[in-house]
């Protein structure tokens, strides 16, 4: 295929993808998600600053938390939480890493555990299809996530990985619709970037 024609074909493909995302509301979804992501991040940092200044020295609390519970215990609780649809906000654990002897290493471990938890949740989503009662319940409970995953696939995994949306729920929805696992593995890698960004922001507050 001539180079000029190939470029034109790629350009047309990009236009078609753009039209599809615009028509299905993907750009609006991302914009709303970004607004939701920005405000919680600012809110979390502000809450930490105010709580630390007027209520209780959060650094003392985190030091106590670090000295009371072993690293293995904290990481185990975090991993279970990230596998079971993100029950506990990861920001708590990110703040904890700052008070440990190896904050960057522990933050990296958190990121990997969160990523791994999402991949495991993908297979939990596949397994639920075999249990009719659970499958029916989740299809009702996660109807919007399932619908969005069918429409946008890996892009939704990427959004879930980067933004404060339930990453594990996005992965479970992907599993339930049998979305290709290799794509979940790739797009899910952006989860590591999210922990780096949030870690930088929270480390600025916690000393």
Query: Would residue 13 count as lying in a domain?
Result: no
Residues of the chain with pLDDT under 50: 1
Instruction: Look at residue 163 and tell me if it is in a domain.
Output: yes
Asked if residue 49 belongs to a domain, the reply is: no
Within a domain: 115:
yes
Residue 50 lies in a domain: no
Which pLDDT score, from 0 to 100, does residue 41 have? 61
pLDDT at 144: 66
Q: Does 48 fall in a domain?
A: no
Using an 8 Å Cβ cutoff, are 129 and 145 in contact?
Answer: no
Q: What tokens does 72 get?
A: 């293995």
Our count of domains for the chain comes to 1
**Distance between the two ends of the chain, CA-based, in angstroms?**
59
- For the CA atoms of 81, 110, 40, 80, the dihedral, rounded to the nearest 10 degrees, stands at 0
User: Is there a contact between 201 and 41 (Cβ–Cβ < 8 Å)?
Assistant: yes
User: How confident is the model at residue 111, as a pLDDT?
Assistant: 95
185 burial (CB, 10 Å; 0-12 / 13-18 / 19+) is middle
Give domain status of residue 106, yes or no. yes
DSSP letters of 67-92? HHS-HHHHHHHHHHHHHTT--S-HHH
Domain span at residue 98 reads 58-203
Length of the chain: 207
User: Residue 24's pLDDT is what?
Assistant: 65
Residue 150 lies inside a defined structural domain of this protein: yes
- Predicted local distance difference test score (pLDDT) of residue 123: 92
Cα 117 from Cα 110, distance rounded (Å): 10
With beta carbons less than 8 A apart as the criterion, state whether 108 and 75 touch: no
């Amino acid at each position: 295929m001539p180079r000029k024609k190939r470029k034109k074909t790629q350009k047309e493909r990009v236009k078609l993808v753009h039209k599809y995302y615009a028509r299905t509301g993907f750009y609006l979804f991302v914009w709303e998600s970004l607004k939701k992501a920005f405000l919680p991040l600012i809110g979390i940092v502000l809450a930490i600053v105010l709580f630390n200044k007027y209520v209780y020295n959060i650094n003392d609390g985190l030091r106590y938390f670090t000295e009371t519970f072993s690293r293995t215990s904290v990481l185990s609780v975090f991993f279970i939480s990230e596998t079971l649809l993100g029950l506990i906000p990861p920001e708590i654990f990110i703040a904890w890493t700052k008070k440990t002897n190896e904050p960057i290493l522990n933050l990296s471990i958190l990121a990997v555990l969160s990523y791994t938890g999402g991949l495991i949740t993908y297979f939990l989503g596949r397994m639920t299809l075999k249990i009719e009662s659970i499958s029916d319940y989740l299809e009702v409970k996660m109807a919007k996530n399932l619908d969005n995953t069918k429409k946008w696939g890996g892009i939704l995994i990427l959004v879930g990985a980067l933004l404060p949306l339930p990453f594990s729920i996005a992965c479970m929805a992907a599993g339930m619709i049998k979305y290709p696992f290799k794509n979940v593995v790739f797009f899910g890698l952006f989860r590591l970037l999210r922990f780096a960004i949030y870690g930088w922001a929270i480390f600025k507050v916690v000393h």
